[in-house]
Amino acid sequence: MAWSTDNCTVGRTMAILGERWTVVVLREVFNGVRRFDDIRRHSGIPRQVLSNRLASLVEQDILRREPYRPESGGRTRHEYRPTAKGLDLYLVLVAVAEWGDTYLADPEGPPVEFVHRDCGEQVHPVVECAAGHRIDTPRDVVGRPGPGAKPFEG
Amino acid sequence: MAWSTDNCTVGRTMAILGERWTVVVLREVFNGVRRFDDIRRHSGIPRQVLSNRLASLVEQDILRREPYRPESGGRTRHEYRPTAKGLDLYLVLVAVAEWGDTYLADPEGPPVEFVHRDCGEQVHPVVECAAGHRIDTPRDVVGRPGPGAKPFEG
DNA sequence: ACGCTGAGTCTCGTTGACAGACCCAGATCG
DNA sequence: CGATCTGGGTCTGTCAACGAGACTCAGCGT
């Protein structure tokens, strides 16, 4: 019972995602809203915060900053797109959105639904084990020490 | 193209989960670490912060506080257990842990693995649509206005 | 009576969130 | 030409949250 469940990866991940707006920014970007001002208007994030968030997401290699030439001519601008590392966060995003829609949506329902492009049905996160069993309660999941576990003395 | 993808539920959810330690606390509690000092020692969360987190999670009805009588006699203490609303966050937790283990683990590997209680295989989050199609890239997911969508003027 | 333990609270310096004003380059208008 | 608009920022100041460390307090064991 005394291996260290140490906050390791979850703690580190939350040091990134845990900043109030990070996940919201990712949501916009996944949704195709990729330009500074568009993101800002859609989400209501304060300029400075958005600026910081974008910069640190780029630095973490979760987004990348790409120059583009606006349709209507004009100066070169930048847009933000997810990297592979960033795309892998969509599982987190879907899980967060689902929980939020279940417990925190306005009475009318959620403002956006995520649907499967091919069939139009709503998407949901589920948990499976490597043997393909569907797991629908946390009771069926147990933690156990992994390769990086360190012994733990209370 | 101009419905408001407004940060609504994701934003609200992240107002809770986005506090640096919330998810770490949940991880401990799901893992069976339920007592103040055990959580603190395992995770290294500062006392005051843990105190705040636990209080607000109880207030949000994500954890509940239950009195218990320690084995070795002594005064009545409290432990923290997830409510149904809290249990539903395990999808988020699994997704966060998976991403963290993939991208942020120490070279030796993650310190804890989550496995299926019945078969011992590792668990993974996946996304499916209501029609049962497996979705493994965010490209196959599109957002569209849901019941609570509001028209949006830039 | 003395110290230990679990579960906190108090204090204080540091960092992050957020609002509001300001800046700058190129396009467009009069 | 100068004035103004637009996208994408930066500067400044306030207020809340974080995090370290010391202090508290009740009951138990010795």
Identify the weakest region by mean pLDDT among A25-29, B89-93, B105-109.
Answer: B105-109
Q: Which of the pair, A54 or B148, is modelled with greater confidence?
A: A54
- Residue with more model confidence, B115 or B2: B115
- Tell me: pLDDT of B42 over 70: yes
Helix (H, G, I), strand (E, B) or coil at A7: coil
The confidence score (pLDDT) of residue B9 equals: 83
Residue B82's pLDDT is 94
What CA–CA distance (Å, rounded) separates B122 from A138?
13
Mean pLDDT, residues B33-55 taken together: 91
Orientation angle between helical segments B22-30 and A8-17, nearest 10 degrees: 150
Nearest CB to B126; choose among A102, A126, A139: A126
Q: Is the pLDDT of residue A154 over 60?
A: no
- Tell whether the model's pLDDT for residue A5 goes beyond 90: no
Sequence ranges of the domains in chain B:
8-140
- Give the list of residues 6+ apart from residue A76 with CB closer than 8 angstroms, or none: A67, A68, A69
Question: What's the average model confidence in pLDDT over A10-37?
Answer: 89
Cα separation, A63 vs A56, in Å, equals 9
List all nucleotides in chain C with at least one atom under 7 A from a protein Cβ. Answer: 6-11, 16-21, 25-28
CATH architecture of A8-140: Orthogonal Bundle (1.10)
Q: What is the nearest CA distance from B138 to chain A, expressed in angstroms? A: 7
Kindly tell me if the per-residue pLDDT of B22 is higher than 60: yes
Mind listing the pLDDT tens digit for each residue in B69-101? 766 556 778 899 999 999 999 999 999 999 999
Yes or no, beta carbons of A105 and B8 under 8 Å apart: yes
B142: pLDDT strictly greater than 70: yes
- The torsion angle over the Cα atoms of residues B93, B99, B102 and B104, rounded to 10 degrees, is -90
Q: What is the pLDDT of residue B5?
A: 42
Distance (Å, whole) CA A43 – CA A69: 24
